[in-house]
Amino acid sequence: MSKQENESATEKFKKDISKVLSQYHSDHMAERVKRGMLNRAKSGYAITRPPLGYSKTETPGLYELNNNGYCARNALQALANGKTNVGMVVAYLEMFYHVMTGIEHSGSAWLECILSDPFYVGYVSYKGQLFEGLHEPLITEDEHKKLLTIIAKQEEYNSLKMVVKSLQNH
């Protein structure tokens, strides 16, 4: 075997080892990130960006209700307590969000989001597991149940009814 053939075999070996070590490092880092995300969720910190109605705080992963969130809470509490109807809340959420942000957003989509995301009831979700969050919930679990019942009775909100049915089956 010539020196050139031997060097190419050595170079090939170095490249192969480098690829294996690089893949190992990448896999190891991914495992560490996932483990860190799970630990953050278990500790009550969010691992995603703030949902509608929440803003970042100085502590990463800890969010607080903003003005949109407090207004949404008031509207949802009024609905849960029978002081208004679904149509009014949907219209209010839509109008309020548009006025505050300048972005058109469906009030029924926001309501659907609130009812389907456990974050709004005080939980942090990671890979299908729920952990008690450190953030202030937008609505209580009792209000959430009342809202699901109220909306389930509203025939004109078929898309919301589908969400309610899927949430009640869990």
d(CA 87, CA 85) in angstroms, rounded, equals 6
**For residue 147, pLDDT beyond 70:** yes
Lowest mean pLDDT among 57-61, 95-99, 153-157: 153-157
- 97 pLDDT above the threshold of 70: yes
Is residue 121 a contact partner of residue 144, using CB atoms and an 8 Å limit? yes
Q: Does domain 43-168 have CATH number 3.30.465.10?
A: no
| Per-residue model confidence (pLDDT) at position 163 | 60
Q: Structural domain boundaries of the chain?
A: 43-168
> Regarding predicted confidence, which is higher, 102 or 53?
53
Confidence category of residue 160, pLDDT binned at 50, 70, 90: low
Mean pLDDT value across the chain: 85
pLDDT band for 58, please (50, 70, 90 cuts).
very high
**Maximum mean pLDDT: which of 48-52, 138-142, 156-160:** 138-142
Helix ranges (DSSP H) in the chain:
3-42, 67-80, 86-101, 107-116, 141-152, 158-168
Between these two residues, 114 and 132, which has the higher pLDDT value? 132
Q: Which residue has the higher pLDDT, 153 or 126?
A: 126
